[in-house]
């Protein structure tokens, strides 16, 4: 009789223990997967930053070259210089990714610079001297390449944020995310006509 109740007690205990172990191992593995998703977002973000920095560094040379030939386009190239200065004032860190306002400011400044640059490149089409200038052509190619890289890295960043945001919202992982303070991250919204890839809203 005594033996029997001991047996029942032990088996209930064992079942509970197994249950707790299962929960704990699930919690650990989902926490770990959130951590790696978070790291992926940070990594893709640093690629985005690199490419924006690259563009930032290219601009002075480009403006100098254009200045030399197309003096008329003063308005266009000062717009580029000003937009660049604004971009330079915005500090970017990966914590910013959870702050919608800061992210919006960052994107607005960068998009503003993109449009100033594209206006400059359109204006420059009227100057045959520039189109025959190997130095300018190379700068233009570099700038185009950087814009392309930016769009690639932005897409990859958006994809990784999408994965992360879906993970932290989905039950039951959202419990873990809430407990350990994983917040939703911002991503790049398509500016009309600037991105061809269809965006999934969530």
Partner 1 sequence: MKKILFATLLIINNVFSQEEIPILNHYVNDFTATLSVEQRLHLERKLKKYDDTTSNQIVILMISKLEGSDLFDYSIRVAEKNKIGRKGKDNGILILIVKDYRKVRIEVGYGLEEIIPDAVASSIIRNIMIPYFKAGNFFEGLDKGISTIQDAIAGLYQAEKKDDFEVTPTLLITLFLLAIILTSLFRRMRRGVLGGWTYYGGSWHPIPRKGSWGGFGSFGGFGGFSGGGFRGGGGSFGGGGASGSW
- Least distance from partner 1 to the Cβ atom of residue 55, Å: 12
* Alpha carbons 74 and 76: distance in angstroms, whole number: 5
Q: Which is nearer to partner 1, 20 or 197 (CB)?
A: 197
Q: Which is nearer to partner 1, 128 or 181 (CB)?
A: 128
- Least distance from partner 1 to the Cβ atom of residue 147, Å: 9
Q: How remote is the C-alpha of 180 from its chain's centroid?
A: 22
- Least distance from partner 1 to the Cβ atom of residue 80, Å: 19
- Least distance from partner 1 to the Cβ atom of residue 139, Å: 8
Q: Which is nearer to partner 1, 25 or 53 (CB)?
A: 53
Q: 76: number of CA atoms within 13 Å, CB side? A: 20
Structure tokens at 113: 């610079």
* Alpha carbons 34 and 12: distance in angstroms, whole number: 33
CA dihedral 133, 136, 140, 142 (to 10 degrees): 120
Q: Which is nearer to partner 1, 30 or 146 (CB)?
A: 146
Those residues whose C-beta lies under 8 Å from the C-beta of residue 135, and which sit 6 or more positions away, are: 65
Q: Collapsing DSSP states into helix, strand and coil, what is residue 50?
A: helix
SS3 assignment for 150-174: HHHHHHHHHHHHHHHHHHHHCCCHH
Q: Which is nearer to partner 1, 30 or 158 (CB)?
A: 158
- Least distance from partner 1 to the Cβ atom of residue 105, Å: 25
- Residues engaged in binding partner 1 (CB under 8 A): 47, 134, 137-142, 144-146, 148-153, 196-198
64-88 burial, b at 16+ Cβ within 10 Å, e below that, comes to ebbeebbeebeebbebbeebbeebe
Q: Which is nearer to partner 1, 58 or 69 (CB)?
A: 58
- Least distance from partner 1 to the Cβ atom of residue 21, Å: 35
């Amino acid at each position: 009789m005594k033996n029997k109740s001991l047996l029942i007690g032990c088996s209930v205990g064992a079942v509970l223990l197994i249950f707790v172990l299962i929960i704990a191992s699930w919690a650990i593995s989902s926490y770990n997967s959130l951590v790696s998703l978070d790291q992926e977002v940070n990594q893709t973000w640093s690629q985005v930053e690199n490419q924006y920095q690259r563009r930032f560094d290219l601009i002075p040379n480009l403006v100098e070259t254009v200045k030399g030939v197309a003096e008329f386009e003063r308005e266009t190239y000062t717009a580029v210089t000003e937009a660049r200065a604004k971009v330079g004032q915005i500090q970017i860190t990966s914590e910013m990714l959870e702050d919608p306002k800061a992210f919006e400011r960052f994107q607005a400044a960068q998009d503003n610079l993109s449009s100033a640059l594209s206006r400059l490149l359109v204006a420059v089409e009227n100057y045959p001297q520039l189109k025959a200038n190997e130095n300018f052509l190379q700068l233009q190619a570099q700038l185009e390449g950087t814009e392309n890289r930016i769009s690639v890295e932005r897409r990859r960043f958006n994809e990784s944020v999408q994965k992360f945001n879906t993970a932290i919202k989905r039950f039951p992982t959202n419990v873990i995310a809430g407990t350990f303070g994983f917040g939703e991250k911002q991503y790049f919204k398509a500016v009309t006509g600037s991105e061809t890839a269809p965006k999934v809203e969530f």
